[in-house]
Amino acid sequence: MKSVTIQVFGRVQGVGFRYLTKMVADKLNIKGTVANLDDGSVYIQAEGPEDHLNEFINTVKMSPSPSGHVEKTTIEDQSVQNFSDFRVTN
């Protein structure tokens, strides 16, 4: 089990990014949260098996939303939070 935080910059708000990210997470059995930040970016906490998490990260980097456009991502390892599901917040 691996856990990361991801901050996604670009056209990622108002394009269904959070909800499509949740769909990808559910498909890959990734647990965590996704939220819009005031600076226009999206913040993700994600954890799961490393191979699934890597696939999730790659999908996020390419934008799960066809209307979105990811310009930059920052990824940091974090300690496992033991989320029970994947939730869209705010």
Q: Which of 18, 58, 87, 90 is catalytic?
A: 18
18 flagged as catalytic:
yes
Q: Which of 11, 36, 54, 87 is catalytic?
A: 36
87 flagged as catalytic:
no
- Shortest CA distance to 67 belongs to which of 11, 4, 29, 7? 11
Exposure letters 23-61 (e unless 16+ CB within 10 A, then b): ebbeebebbbbbebeeeebbbbbbbbeeebbebbbebbe
Catalogue the active-site residues.
18, 36
